[in-house]
Structure 1
Amino acid sequence: MQAPDLSIILVNYKTPHLIVDCLRSVEEHTSGLTYEVLVVNNDPDPTGQAVVLTAFPSTRWIEMGYNSGFARANNRGIAEAKGRLILLLNSDTLLIDNVFKRCASVLDSRPEVAAVGPMQITREGKVHTEAYDGFSQLRRYFYIVPTSGFFKHLLHRLLPDNHYSDPNEVDWLIGSFIMTRRETVRKAGGLDENFFMYAEDVEWCWRLGKQGKMLLLRDAFYIHLEYGSSTDYQERKVTHINRFKPQMHVSNLLWVRKQYGVGAYLILILHYLTLLPVIFGWKIGVNLLNFRNPFSGLENQREFARQVGIFLRFFWKTLFNQKGFYKI
């Protein structure tokens, strides 16, 4: 049997019905290239397989046997894929047109391009404006500083963005849709399996980008629902100092260590440790000035301290870039 043009890899963790909806949109909108679908299963619940295979019996179902996270599951799919093109696709995505063919044509016609992806939109058609595509954009977000223009300007001076002549070229592509060549993956390597979830796509794109341009097609779109297996999308109180999701930021810190080295990682950790007495002292001072119990209303500060404690659990492993499973 002739190998397909494209191997579509989806990871299942409690999302079989989302996968069925996704594959229906793929079937409806994809033409002009052959493809196979591989679902890598991280979910111990056995019922998901029947849900997906009943709707799409030609799907290749691959069992991991445990919740292996995003990187390990996708690497398993890449290892078993037969297509000359590889697509990492989230289960909570929907196609609205023949974007697979559009991206494949870019890779086939432009050898200088290493990977390509479209813009994310909501179900209502709004572009995800909060989505980052630059390394420095992410790094600036990791610093908790006053929101005044001075500090924003300072961070931009210290961590400037990369600029490209091609308006579609970016530093990295969101892991919910990354299409690349099998040969590019062979040269760059697979996803780093130390990551459990989050930031592995950023680190992988850093290595893919060494093989060629990373293109974000700004006139091509797909729906990203941004929910599914992640509990991080459950409603929670978000404040300026408590805007990090702990699992996500443990992975972010690992990415900073791998890509930018020990110094960049230690500066961030020192930043968070320095903030602890500052934010507690500020709140206690405000309470005293207002003749309140000095230790009242410290929930926000205690939550930040709890998060820093989680980051520190992985401090030595991250500092020495040790192999492991960086999962909370």
Structure 2
Amino acid sequence: MSTTSPDVSIIIVNYKTPQLIIDCLHSVQQHTQGIDFEVIIIDNESGDNSELLVRAAFPEAQFPQIRWFNMGYNAGFGRANNFGMKQAQGRNLLLLNSDTLLVDDLITRCSQLLDRQRDVAAVGAMQINRDGQVHTQLYTRFAQLRRFCYILPERWLNRVFPDNQYADPNEVDWIIGAFLMTRQSTIAQTGNFDERFFMYGEDVELGWRLRRQGRMLVLRDGFFVHLEYGSDASNATRKTTFINRFKTQMQVSNLLWVRKQYGAGAYLVLMIHYYTLVPIVYAWKMTANLRQGKPLLSELTNQRAFAQQVGIFSRFFWATLFNQNLFFKV
């Protein structure tokens, strides 16, 4: 590695995922050519031997680019990345999930794009699985997430919250934080992640501010493998229904994002929507039970789960409404 400042600082947050990081860094090492880079790993108090395993796989004599830092507590995604960005020496910053794998020299391509196209604030790429299939649920528009927050007919929501349209097929509203590259200078103008977010939603909110600095691009012919659920495998097999489809931590963060970006009115409409739905989903199911000759209070698992989630959202109601400086961790 050059003694001068690197072209790219790769920032990876670790929470009990040493083998994923080892696999990720092997792919970085294999595919990244022609640029200098450093790797900054931020550990969210894993309480295991993650650092020893990673350093054993990448001895300093052979791979001196790695710098390891311990947060001392589980700081979540945004705070850990903010700490990593403060340590970064690279001209460009790459936020990279531990559960990702490169399949070509995407890092060099994105870095060179940012160097050439000064009107671009940040760049990402398409997510694929191990088999090379593109992830079908790729959110790149703010309106997509707003529609997801509502439990209402999709056709109506599409009219109320239409997607922004761009002439450039690569241009988007925001970029997922699993692979997001921007400049040090852009972050200096935009500001870091909002540290109230524990996990999820912080990349959407940062994207809103990054868009003020320039275009946001997701390269349709650029790909990286995103395994997902690296440090929370339980989510991979979690069963969902239409009314009970929210990941609780994710939705608490999404509600904070809606409040910050669209205001108190938009947030209140969403919460009133949830409060109104609780008795409706119970009444609907109990009516269906009577019609089918079943006990009135049978098979209410989904309804109870939804009500419990609304109860958790309510724990953060006043803090969200008044935009308080709280750590929104479920």
Normalising by structure 1, report the TM-score.
0.97
The equivalent of 1:148 in structure 2 is: none
For 1:210 and 1:230, locate their aligned partners in 2 and report how far apart those are by CA, in whole Å: 33
Question: Identical aligned pairs, as a percentage?
Answer: 57
Shift of 1:236: 2.2
Whether the 8 Å CA contact 2:16–2:48 is kept in 1: the answer is no
Residue from 139, 151, 155 that aligns with 1:132: 139
For 2:239 and 2:22, locate their aligned partners in 1 and report how far apart those are by CA, in whole Å: 32
| Superimposed CA distance per residue, residues 126-169 of structure 1 (whole angstroms, 9 cap, x where no aligned partner) | 00111110000111011112xxxxx3232112111101111100
For 1:231 and 1:323, locate their aligned partners in 2 and report how far apart those are by CA, in whole Å: 30
Whether the 8 Å CA contact 2:95–2:181 is kept in 1: the answer is yes
Residue from 105, 109, 115 that aligns with 2:112: 105
Residue from 75, 84, 91 that aligns with 1:77: 84
Shift of 1:237: 2.1
Matches within 5 A, 1:205-244: 205-231=207-233, 233-244=235-246
Whether the 8 Å CA contact 2:32–2:108 is kept in 1: the answer is yes
**For residue 283 of structure 2, what is the amino acid of its counterpart?**
G
Q: Count matched residues.
A: 323
For 1:287 and 1:201, locate their aligned partners in 2 and report how far apart those are by CA, in whole Å: 42
Matches within 5 A, 1:117-196: 117-145=124-152, 151-196=153-198
The equivalent of 1:9 in structure 2 is: 11
| 1:293 aligns to 2:295 (yes or no) | yes
SS at match of 2:260: helix
Structure 2 segments unaligned to the other structure (5+ residues): none
For 1:105 and 1:233, locate their aligned partners in 2 and report how far apart those are by CA, in whole Å: 36
Whether the 8 Å CA contact 1:44–1:65 is kept in 2: the answer is no
SS at match of 2:263: helix
Structure 1 segments unaligned to the other structure (5+ residues): 146-150
CA RMSD across the alignment: 1.0
SS at match of 1:210: coil
Residue from 91, 96, 100 that aligns with 1:93: 100
The equivalent of 1:23 in structure 2 is: 25
SS at match of 2:230: coil
Shift of 1:46: 4.1
Matches within 5 A, 1:256-275: 256-275=258-277
Whether the 8 Å CA contact 2:139–2:145 is kept in 1: the answer is yes
**For residue 79 of structure 2, what is the amino acid of its counterpart?**
R
Normalising by structure 2, report the TM-score.
0.96
Whether the 8 Å CA contact 1:18–1:228 is kept in 2: the answer is yes
Matches within 5 A, 1:276-291: 276-291=278-293
Whether the 8 Å CA contact 1:113–1:212 is kept in 2: the answer is yes
| 1:199 aligns to 2:201 (yes or no) | yes
